[in-house]
Amino acid sequence: MDKPVLVEADLKAGETLLRDLDQQHLDVTAALWLYSSDSNEWRLVIASPLYDAQGPMAAYRTVQPLVESLKNRFDIALQNISMVSPSNPLIRLLGAAIQTGPEISHIRVSRNTINNQYIEDAYIYRLPQATNN
């Protein structure tokens, strides 16, 4: 099966959603598109302390109206998004190798191994420096 392509519209949708979340003052510590060869799909991964503080359902409920507001401009749905904790192992792993700061960046990482974990493909908007906790 061929790998689906992450197109410009996907990249714009992810960036627009991140900007909207920032405008709503939701603390987004990490945001990136991640390709999973197991499911053969791209997912927009968003890490926020809200996930830890109020739980995953609250995190998804916060993002849902913003995703809905993008539907007339972009082909993105809540099913394309994974809300995670900032302490998620993948976020920490990537943060050990790449840091962007709080601004929105555009970094493509393809076919790389970080600490013995293979990252087939990712497009990073924001990624914090990994911490030791």
Supply the pLDDT for residue 132. Answer: 57
Evaluate whether residue 73 is within a structural domain. Answer: yes
Beta bridge partners of 34: 43, 122
Nearest to 123 by CA among 3, 12, 1: 12
Nearest Cα residue to 108 out of 34, 17, 36: 34
Question: What's the domain count of the chain?
Answer: 1
* pLDDT score of 46: 98
Q: What is the pLDDT of residue 128?
A: 87
- Is pLDDT of 133 > 60? no
Residue 49 lies in a domain: yes
Q: Is residue 45 part of a domain?
A: yes
Query: 27-68: per-residue pLDDT in tens?
Result: 999 999 999 988 999 999 999 999 999 999 999 999 999 999
Residue 21 structural domain: 8-126
Task: Return d(Cα 70, Cα 46) in angstroms, integer.
Answer: 16
- Supply 26's token pair: 């939701």
* 31 domain-assigned: yes
Res. 97: pLDDT tops 80: yes
In a domain, 1, yes or no: no
Q: Is there a domain that residue 38 lies in?
A: yes
Residue 131 lies in a domain: no
Structure token pair of residue 69: 């507001």
Q: Would you say the pTM of this structure is higher than 0.85?
A: yes
User: Is position 70 within any domain?
Assistant: yes
